[in-house]
Amino acid sequence: MGRWEVMVGNKAIAYAAKLARVQFISAYPITPQTSVVEYLAEMVASGELDAEFVNVEGELTAQTAALGASAAGARAFTATSGPGLLYMHHPMHATSGGRFPVVMAVIHRSVKGMQPDHSDMMAQRDTGWIMLECENSQELLDTGIMAFKIAEDERVRLPTIFAGDGYILSYTAEPVEIPSQEDVDAFLPPYRSSYPLLPGLAEEARRVQMEQWGIGQDPQLRWRRQQEAMEAAKMVIMEVNEEFYKWFGRRYGNGLVEEYRCDDVEAFIVAMGTIASTARTAIDRLQAKGRRIGLVKLKSFRPFPSEEFRRLGAMVRAIGVIDRNISLGSGGITFQEIRSSLYDLEERPRILGFHAGLSGKEVRVGDIEMICEKTLRAAKGEGPPSLVEWI
Amino acid sequence: MSRPIPLHELGDKEYIDPANQACQGCGGAIVSRLVSKALGEGFVRAEVACCGPAFMNIRAPSIYVEVFEGAGALMTGISRGLKRIGREDVVVMGIIGDGGTVDIGFQGLSAAAERNENILWVCYDNEAYMNTGGQKSGATTLYAATTTTPIGEYSRGKLERRKNVPLLMAMQGAPYVATASVAFPEDLLGKLIHAKGIKGFRYIHVSSPCPTGWGYDPKDTIKVARGMVQSGLWPLYEVSDGILRLNYKPRELKPVREVLKMQGRFRHLNDEEIDRIQREVDTFWRRLVAKDGGEIF
C-alpha cells in the first residue's frame, strides 16, 4: 500500500526517481527544475537513495554524463527546464542514437521568459526521445516510474522524457499517493543492459558501435531502426499503462491519449499538460448545459498517436486543438500533426487550431469554453472549414 | 612517480589493428597503439570528435559519441555507471584531441578534474584541428601557420601563446598529471602504467606531431617529436600529488631553430620571431628546472 502526502510537483518527480531506484543522477540547477535535484540530493545525503549523485557544471554535461552512465549499464536520470533543455539538445541526439534508455524530467519553461509553455520540449521534437506529458503531480510521479519501464523495454531502448508545466505543477502542492517501494520493485525490476560497455564484450560492443556509426551498412539503417522502435513504443506504452493500473489502480487513458467525456459527442478539443485540467472543468460546465463536446488529452507527444486520432476523428464533426507552442513560420505543432493524421479519413472532421498559454499566459476556464463553442459551431458547419486563432 | 618501461616488456600482443585510416606518420595512431598496449585487456575507451575515429580500430570496448565538447562528461558517466554495476576495476580512458581537450572540451575537462572523477584522460596533441584540415586551436604554438592563421601581408600565423593545460590540471590538484611524447615511448608507457594504478583523475598530455598539418615528411614524425623535447618546446614532466619532476633533463637544450625549421608551419619565421620563441622556451624551462623535485605551489 502506498501513502499520501501533500507535495509539490518537483517532489513527486524526485519520488519517481527514488522509487525507480535510479543509480545515476546528474544535477544542475535551473528554475523551475532546481528543487527536483535538491530533493534527490537530500535523499542521497540521508541514505534514503543509494545512487551516484553528480553535480555537473552544465546541462550539456548533465545529459552526456547520463548517456555515459547508461552506456555502462546503470539506470540514469536527469532533469531540466527551458534553456537548460536547449543546452542539452546536442547530446540528446547522441543519447537516442546510441539507444540509451536515459529518463529525464522536463519541467516546462518557455524559451522566451521564465513562465511555462511547451516551446522547450517542442524544440527537441526530432531528437528521437519518447515524450510523455503530465497534467498533475500524481501523473508526474506515476509517469516517471512508467518511463523507465518503457525506455528500458528491449523492443524500445529509447530515452524518455516525462514532462509537466513549470510553476503550475513544480511549485504547487497537492495530495499525491506514493506507491510502496515493494510494489514499485515488483513493477519495475532492476535495469540490466544487454550492451554494457565492458571488456569481454568487445565484439558485441563493436557491432553495436558500428551500427551507431552507420559503418558497413546502409547509412540510413540506424534512422529506420529508431523509427521502428518509436512505432513499437506505442504498444509498449499502452502495455505499461495497463500493467501500472493493475499494480497501482491508476492509468492515464490508454497511455497515449486520454478521452474525457467523449461518449456521444459531436466535437472534442485536444490539450496537453495542465491545460487539460482546466479543460475538464470547461467540458463539465458545457455538458451540464447540454453541449455535446468532450476532451482528448494528448499524453504521448512522441511517439505521436496518429492512429488514435484517426479513430477519434472518425467519430466527430469538429476538433479544436489547443497548442501551448508554435513552430514559427508554420503554426501549432499538435494542430498540424493531428490534422495530418486525419488526412486518410473518408469523411474528415473540421479542425481548428488555438494558440494559448505561451510564455505562461494564463488560460482560464472561460477561454476554453470559448474554444469549445467555436469548435461546436464548426461541427454544425458554420464558419470556415479550418481556422487558427490566438487566445 | 613513474619509471620508464621499454616496449618489449609489454610482450608482443597488439590491440590496435595494423590497418587504419590515419595519415602516414600519424603521431596520434602511435599514441593509440602505445596506450592500448599499456592498458591491455582491462579498459574501455571513450571517444569524441577528433582524428581518433580514424584510428579507433583498437580491440577494446569503445564508445563514440558525436559530442565534441563532451569527453569529460562522457567519461564521468561511464566511470560512475561502471562503479554502480560493480566494475570499478575497469579503467575508463579517452584518447582525446587537443581541440576536445583545451578548447571546446575544456569546461568538461576542468569540471571532471574538480570532481576528481576516476578517469584517465590522454590528450594527443597535434596542435590544431587536424581532422577538419588544420585550423588553429588553443594548443597551437606561437607563430604557427594554420588554415585559420595563414601567412600573408597582414598575418604572421598564430599570435597567441598555447594554453598550458597540463599545469592547469596540476593546479586543480589532479592526483596525476604528465606530459609525454611519441618520441619517448618508454617514458610514455611508464607514465600510462603508473597512471593505471592510481584512482582518481589522471591526465597525460602527449605531443603527437602531424605531418599533414605541420608540413614535414611523414617518416620524420619521431625526429620532429624528439626535437620538440630536446629543444624544450615540449618538456617532459609529471606532477604527482603536487610534486613536479622533470623526466628529461639534458645538460643543455638544443636551439629551437633546428626543429622549427623542419616544419612547414614555421617556414615563414624571421630571426626576431624565432628569438621570441627561444626566449619563452628558455624562461619556461628555467622555471621548470627550479621546480624540479619540489612542490609546484
List, in order, residues 6 or more apart from B252 with CB less than 8 Å away: none
- Interface list for B 81-110 with A (CB within 8 A): 81-85, 87, 90, 107-108, 110
A257-390 classified as CATH 3.40.50.720 = no
Q: Which of A132, A360, A76, A75 is nearest to A256 (CA)?
A: A132
Which residue ranges make up each domain of chain A? 3-195+223-248, 257-390
* pLDDT score of A43: 98
Q: What is the tens place of the pLDDT at every residue in A5-15?
A: 999 999 999 99
Q: Do domains A3-195+223-248 and A257-390 have the same CATH topology?
A: yes
Q: Domain A3-195+223-248, what architecture? A: 3-Layer(aba) Sandwich (3.40)
- Residues A209-265: tens digit of each pLDDT: 666 666 667 888 889 999 999 999 999 999 999 999 999 999 999 999 999 999 999
Kindly give the residue spans of alpha helices, DSSP state H, lying in B125-199.
165-171, 185-196
Helical pair B106-114 and A59-72, crossing angle rounded to 10 deg: 70
Q: Summarize the confidence of residues B48-61 as an average pLDDT.
A: 81
pTM of the model: 0.96
Is pLDDT at A201 greater than 80 in this prediction? no
ipTM (interface predicted TM): 0.96
CB contact under 8 A, A73 and B70: no
CA distance to partner chain A, nearest, from residue B111 (Å): 6
Superfamily of domain B21-291: Thiamin diphosphate (ThDP)-binding fold, Pyr/PP domains (3.40.50.970)
Beta strands (DSSP E) in chain A are 3-8, 24-27, 52-55, 76-80, 103-108, 130-133, 160-165, 173-178, 257-260, 267-271, 293-298, 300-302, 318-323, 350-355, 386-390
Taking the Cβ of residue B115 and every Cβ of chain A, the question of whether any pair is shorter than 8 Å is answered with yes
Q: Which of A62-66, B14-18, B251-255 has the lowest mean pLDDT?
A: B14-18
Tell me, yes or no, if B46 comes closer than 8 A to chain A by beta carbon: yes
What is the DSSP annotation of A128-154?
S-EEEE-SSHHHHHHHHHHHHHHHH-T
The beta-carbon neighbor of B44 closest among A62, A70, A198 is A198
CA dihedral B230, B234, B235, B241 (to 10 degrees): -160
Q: Which residues of A touch B42 (CB under 8 A)?
A: 199
pLDDT tens column, A96-145: 999 999 999 999 999 999 999 999 999 999 999 999 999 999 999 999 99
Side chain identity at A304, as an amino acid letter?
F
Q: Are A118 and A325 in contact (CB under 8 A)?
A: yes
- Phi, psi of B106, rounded to the nearest 5 degrees: -65, -40
If pLDDT is split at 50, 70 and 90, which confidence band does B18 have?
confident
* R_g over Cα of chain B: 18
Element (H, E) at B282: helix B271-291
Q: pLDDT for A24-66, tens place per residue?
A: 999 999 999 999 999 999 999 999 999 999 999 999 999 999 9
pLDDT at A202 over 60: no
Q: Which residue has the cell 628569438?
A: B275
Among the partner-chain residues B42, B67, B83, the one whose CB lies closest to the CB of A52 is B83
Nearest residue to B36 via CA among B16, B65, B50: B16
CB contact (8 A) between residue A202 and residue B59: yes
Residue to substitute from A64, A102, A194, interface B, most B β-carbons within 10 A: A64
